[in-house]
């Protein structure tokens, strides 16, 4: 039996002498990268890794960390990447819940994490931002050849924990089939080939940066300009070497703030892709006006990998996430019945396909309630299908506001507010109200400092129904976001929860 994911995504180019990772100070070929993978795989086995064991990793983005992911897969383990901003208290939950056999952290976190690893019976290794540490040291002592451990299509390859805005984070189980099949679909749909060079400035503890980007370029034998994080100056410096770029919306708004980001600077680029958070229609239009190129927006989740995309060849429509990818079955369904609603009506996105995860780690009840009897996964994302047949996300079901017994969809109001001249962006939330149950509140970032609550209310007065209009408007310098650029509405709701109480 083969190692399903490794053999299909990584093995075809393991001896390739061409550049795989291009950094600020060094370039690593596929062949050298895979020597590192093999040494790390031996080091994992020497540290006690058995087939199916979890390897929890909280380390800075580096060539070695990416090689550690591939080595874990090749050695038959299950990779568990963790956000670098998590505290030791948060790590304790993930490490214990996943029952990690090995834990890899930066040397700075070693003292705090040691008792957590010991309590779990896990072996603790270190990997630092400069690629030093006990793990690389151990790896250097190992052989440069390693035979992949047999793993089937349904065996786990990774566990990624959801951000968990309510209750404990859930570990999404992703099998070899999930990751391989989605990579194959994206390769064909986005037309990636071996001559592609991807500008990679995303974190690699998340689906977007790790699986969408790295798996894809590894499969086609392309190259990645592999930078620690987004920086507009660095992006503009390396852009001439790239053919493609993946980013969150913030990357594109920051590039648009740079006068040096011109049509000439981007004319050689084949493709700009955006995901992980909604791209404002205004950003999409401004980018097209500046560069002559339309950003390709797609939609995915930790649990489903990539599910929909605007077309590579065809119209990319601002404010939409396109159509279902090949092999993905998608319906917009009534939340209670699971039955499809007519086009144009709002419902919950439900999905089925090889891309959809196998369930939540050690949470059988959560898994059961997340799937319909016919196998469709209930995403919790609310959407409608527009007149072009494209999917328009309107928000999360937990963000739905019920005011006076009537449903209010925040995205509809946000889109309206964002049309007001001087508004940079907005977030609409529901907060407790003694009469209405919930009241609509708008939180706005404005470039025009003369804007006030009265001018916003006046602008909306004849545009949307009275029950949808905000009961209060607040202006802030910036909206709270997580590391992937998603607005944290749970934070905003907490800040304003006693506004009308």
CATH number of 400-495: 3.30.300.30
Q: What is the mean pLDDT of residues 255-284?
A: 93
- Asked: is 230-396 a CATH 3.40.50.12780 domain? The reply is yes
Q: What is the mean pLDDT of residues 222-244?
A: 97
- 166: confidence class by pLDDT, cuts 50, 70, 90: very low
- Is 177 a residue whose pLDDT tops 90? yes
Higher-confidence residue of 495 and 281: namely 495
Q: For position 406, what pLDDT does the model report?
A: 78
- C-alpha span between 203 and 163 (Å, rounded): 15
Phi and psi dihedrals of 123, rounded to 5?
A: -85, 130
Q: Which residues pair with 443 in a beta bridge?
A: 427, 474
- Is 423 a residue whose pLDDT tops 80? yes
- C-alpha span between 294 and 311 (Å, rounded): 11
Does this chain's domain 4-189 share its CATH topology with 230-396? yes
Distant-in-sequence, close-in-space partners of 38: CB < 8 Å, separation ≥ 6: 71, 74, 142, 143, 144, 145, 146
Looking at the chain, how many residues does it have? Answer: 501
Q: Residue ranges of the domains in the chain?
A: 4-189, 230-396, 400-495
Higher-confidence residue of 402 and 311: namely 311
- Is 164 a residue whose pLDDT tops 70? no
Q: Kindly provide the b/e burial profile for residues 151-165, where b requires at least 16 CB atoms within 10 angstroms of the residue's own CB.
A: bebebbbbbbbeeeb
Q: For position 250, what pLDDT does the model report?
A: 85
- Percent of the chain whose predicted confidence (pLDDT) is above 70: 99
Distant-in-sequence, close-in-space partners of 338: CB < 8 Å, separation ≥ 6: 350, 372, 374, 376, 378
- Closest alpha carbon to 171 in 96, 71, 112: 96
Q: For 299-338, what is each residue's pLDDT tens digit?
A: 999 999 999 999 999 999 999 999 999 999 999 999 889 9
Q: For position 167, what pLDDT does the model report?
A: 59
Chain-centroid distance of CA 356 in Å reads 15
Q: How far is CA 346 from CA 218, 227, 341, 394, in A?
A: 38, 39, 7, 8
Fold of 4-189: Rossmann fold (3.40.50)
Q: What is the mean pLDDT of residues 133-153?
A: 98
- Is 390 a residue whose pLDDT tops 80? yes
- Closest alpha carbon to 41 in 154, 147, 195, 175: 147
- Closest alpha carbon to 158 in 3, 54, 50, 283: 54
Mean of all residue pLDDT scores within the chain: 94
- Percent of the chain whose predicted confidence (pLDDT) is above 90: 83
- Is 210 a residue whose pLDDT tops 50? yes
Q: Please answer whether residues 288 and 282 qualify as being in contact, where contact means their C-beta atoms are separated by less than 8 angstroms.
A: no
Q: Please answer whether residues 110 and 118 qualify as being in contact, where contact means their C-beta atoms are separated by less than 8 angstroms.
A: no
- C-alpha span between 204 and 206 (Å, rounded): 5
Distant-in-sequence, close-in-space partners of 314: CB < 8 Å, separation ≥ 6: none
Q: Please answer whether residues 436 and 453 qualify as being in contact, where contact means their C-beta atoms are separated by less than 8 angstroms.
A: no
β 377-385/347-352 pair status: antiparallel
Q: What is the mean pLDDT of residues 332-354?
A: 95
- Is 165 a residue whose pLDDT tops 50? no
Q: What is the mean pLDDT of residues 403-415?
A: 84
Distant-in-sequence, close-in-space partners of 14: CB < 8 Å, separation ≥ 6: 30, 31, 34, 37
């Amino acid at each position: 039996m083969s190692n399903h994911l490794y053999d299909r995504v990584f093995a075809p180019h393991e001896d390739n002498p061409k550049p795989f990772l291009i950094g600020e100070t060094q370039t690593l070929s596929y062949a050298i990268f895979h020597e590192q993978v093999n040494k790390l795989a031996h080091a994992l086995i020497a540290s006690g890794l058995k087939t199916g064991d979890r390897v929890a990793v909280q380390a800075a983005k580096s060539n070695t960390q990416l090689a550690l992911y591939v080595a874990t897969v090749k050695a038959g383990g299950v990779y568990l990447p963790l956000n670098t901003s998590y505290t030791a208290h948060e790590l304790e939950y993930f490490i214990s819940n996943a029952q990690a056999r090995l834990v890899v952290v930066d040397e700075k976190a070693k003292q705090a994490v040691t008792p957590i690893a010991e309590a779990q019976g896990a072996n603790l290794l270190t990997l630092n931002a400069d690629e030093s540490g006990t793990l690389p040291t151990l790896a250097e002592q190992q052989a440069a050849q390693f035979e992949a451990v047999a793993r089937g299509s349904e065996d786990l390859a990774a566990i990624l924990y959801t951000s968990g805005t309510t209750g404990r984070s859930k570990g999404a189980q992703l099998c070899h089939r999930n990751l391989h099949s989605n990579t194959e679909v994206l390769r064909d749909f986005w037309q990636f080939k071996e001559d592609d060079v991807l500008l990679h400035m995303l974190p690699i503890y998340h689906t977007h940066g790790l699986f969408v980007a790295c798996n894809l370029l590894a499969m086609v034998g392309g190259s990645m300009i592999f930078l620690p994080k987004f920086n507009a100056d660095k992006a503009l410096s390396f852009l001439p070497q790239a053919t493609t770029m993946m980013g969150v919306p913030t990357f594109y708004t920051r590039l648009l703030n740079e006068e040096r980001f011109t049509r000439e600077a981007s004319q050689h680029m084949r493709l700009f892709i955006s995901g992980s958070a909604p791209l404002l229609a205004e950003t999409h239009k401004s980018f097209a006006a500046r560069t002559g190129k339309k950003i390709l927006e797609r939609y995915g989740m930790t649990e489903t990998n990539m599910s929909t995309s605007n077309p590579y060849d065809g119209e990319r429509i601002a404010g939409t996430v396109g159509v279902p990818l090949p092999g993905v079955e998608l319906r917009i369904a009534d939340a209670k019945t699971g039955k499809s609603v007519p086009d144009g009506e709002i419902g919950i996105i439900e999905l089925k396909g090889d891309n959809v995860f196998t369930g939540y780690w050690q949470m059988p009840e959560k898994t059961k309630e997340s799937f319909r009897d016919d196998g469709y996964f209930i995403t919790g994302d609310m959407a409608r299908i527009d007149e072009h047949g494209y999917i328009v996300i309107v928000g999360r079901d937990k963000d739905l506001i019920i005011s006076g017994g009537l449903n209010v969809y925040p995205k509809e109001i946000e889109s309206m507010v964002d049309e007001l001249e001087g508004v940079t962006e907005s977030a609409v939330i529901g907060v407790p109200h003694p009469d209405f149950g919930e009241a609509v509140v708008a939180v706005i970032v404005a470039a025009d400092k003369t804007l006030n609550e009265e001018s916003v209310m006046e602008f909306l007065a004849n545009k949307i129904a009275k029950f949808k209009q905000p009961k209060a408007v607040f202006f802030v310098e910036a909206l709270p976001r997580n590391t992937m650029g998603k607005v944290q509405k749970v934070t905003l709701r907490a800040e304003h929860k006693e506004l009308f109480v």
